[in-house]
Structure 1
Amino acid sequence: MRPVRPARAMRAGFLRPLSPRAGPEGGRPGAGRALGTWLVVGALAATLVALLVPVALFGGARSAAADAPAWKDDGAGTRNTAFGPLTALDRDFVRKVRLAGLWEKPAGRLAQERGTSDSVRTAGEHLVGGHSELDRRALDAARSLDITLPGRPTEQQQGWLDRMDAARGAEFDRVFAQLVRAAHGKVFGLVALVRDRTGNSLVRELATRANTVVLDHITVLEDTGATGIPRTRGRMPAPSPAPDQPSPAPDQQSTAQHSDEEMK
């Protein structure tokens, strides 16, 4: 049998032409497939970015939520009172104010006795005065709202007092200032949370006053220079009367000053 010639084999369909066929608009089919592949890859990348952007934007929110002030739910739910609804957050806040006084007043007395500088002794004086006032307010609120209060510091708080009691000299200044400043930094967020959320007028008044007292304590503790935190630059001046309000009369000023001294 004679061999089939290439021309006849091609006409018979046995061989395919080796030259590339023209694709759409004169292009090659491989180029079209490559373009389609890149389109798919681009679509997948866009989808991945759309999924990751919310995580990047709002991942910090989850971290902030994890760092939110901690409070304990006593499981008693919300009760109606003559002063407004009383929530578990409200009750825990009143208890924490009481607990703060149970360990920070003794800490303040230690600072008055052992502080090696005027600024440490001044911070101790502010602690004793401020928490004596807040303690009275917490006790009054607890009686009116039927809240059971603790009678002694927590184990952790007692441990802080023990550390201060064992320290002397400059070491005492450092231990006192750092422990009490760290505790105030944590409770400051809780005060703001309660002040924002509570619907109870007594708890709101307590939180409002606690906000002022805690900020004052943070400031005087930083002024000791022993907290590792830069000192606060100056104090905020006392608020002056509004332009449309007359200044208080001299007898009113003396009365207000006398009231402030009683509160201290």
Structure 2
Amino acid sequence: MSGIKRLGLLAALVLVGIAPAGVAQAAVQPSKQDTQYLKALHQVNLFEIKAGEEAQEESQNQEIKDLGAMFKTDHTQLDETVKQTAKKLNVDLPSKPTADQQSVLDQIEKVEKTGEEFDRLWVTSQLAGHVQAIQATQTEISQGSEQSVVQLAKSALPTLQAHHDALVQLAQQLGIPVPQATASGTPSPGGTTPAPGGTTESPGGGTETPSPGQS
């Protein structure tokens, strides 16, 4: 085969993604939005796993214990997908929750474990965090460019929404203020009481909002 024909064949193979062995293909480069979302969602999961354990071990309310168990299970499963996706895209994930998330965990661990104080703090922080996690996930769905990350967000949204709905129902039973929801059922940004631990940058943009990790 002539050199020209060989080059033409190689070019065609590369275009359809089946370059022969030894021909390196360009690595996938996720956008800043995709990268930030993967990192934020991973930290959400780290936070939720720990918060779920705290609820199971410390709360005297069986419904909170059950929610904590569900959150731990769901976020452990979700995080496996996050880690697999990040590995394929060469995204390095944080090894621990954000400083704000850790601050919330510290407060939950230190609060009086008997009575209503623990339950109210846990539910309040979970409500605020889930509002922000849902908003960050919706931002990824609308603004993300890497399809594997966008699909991950689409898969995560129903779980986050189900968690939020369960928290709303429990908060109403306990007399805890609930963030105002929009007509579509999505929590309104203006109706949220920030969870303890401060604010952080939203994965979807530069505005400061309560940390999505407090979900």
Residue 92 (structure 2) pairs with residue 143 (structure 1): no
Distance of 1:223 and 1:118 partners within structure 2: 14
Name 1:211's counterpart in structure 2.
157
Query: For each residue in 1:34-85, what CA deviation from the matched residue of structure 2 results, as whole angstroms up to 9, or x when unmatched?
Result: xxxxxxxxxxxxxxxxxxxxxxxxxxxxxxxxxxxxxxxxxxxxxx755xx6
Q: How many equivalent residue pairs? A: 150
Name 1:183's counterpart in structure 2.
129
Aligned 1:47-196 pairs, distance under 5 A: 86-167=30-111, 168-169=113-114, 170-196=116-142
For the 8 Å contact 2:127–2:178, the answer to whether it is kept is: no
Residue 145 (structure 2) pairs with residue 199 (structure 1): yes
Distance of 1:217 and 1:81 partners within structure 2: 36
- Segments ≥4 residues shifted beyond 6 Å: none
SS at match of 2:170: coil
Distance of 1:102 and 1:218 partners within structure 2: 18
Distance of 1:155 and 1:165 partners within structure 2: 15
For the 8 Å contact 1:119–1:220, the answer to whether it is kept is: no
TM-score, length basis structure 2: 0.65
Determine which of 228, 242, 254 is the counterpart of 2:177.
Answer: 228
Name 2:203's counterpart in structure 1.
none
Query: For each residue in 1:155-177, what CA deviation from the matched residue of structure 2 results, as whole angstroms up to 9, or x when unmatched?
Result: 11111001111121211100111
Higher relative contact order (CA 8 A, sep 6+): 2
When residues 81 and 190 of structure 1 are mapped into structure 2, their CA distance, relative to the original with a 3 A threshold, is farther
TM-score, length basis structure 1: 0.53
When residues 196 and 81 of structure 1 are mapped into structure 2, their CA distance, relative to the original with a 3 A threshold, is farther
For the 8 Å contact 2:43–2:96, the answer to whether it is kept is: yes
Residue identity (%)? 23
Letter in 1 for 2:134: F
- C-alpha RMSD of matched pairs (Å): 1.9
Name 2:188's counterpart in structure 1.
none
Distance of 2:166 and 2:124 partners within structure 1: 12
Structure 2: runs of 5 or more not aligned: 1-25, 182-215
Pair member with larger Rg: 1
Distance of 1:143 and 1:214 partners within structure 2: 23
Distance of 1:173 and 1:155 partners within structure 2: 22
Distance of 1:121 and 1:219 partners within structure 2: 16
Structure 1: runs of 5 or more not aligned: 1-79, 233-264
SS at match of 1:224: helix
For the 8 Å contact 2:49–2:72, the answer to whether it is kept is: yes
Name 1:65's counterpart in structure 2.
none
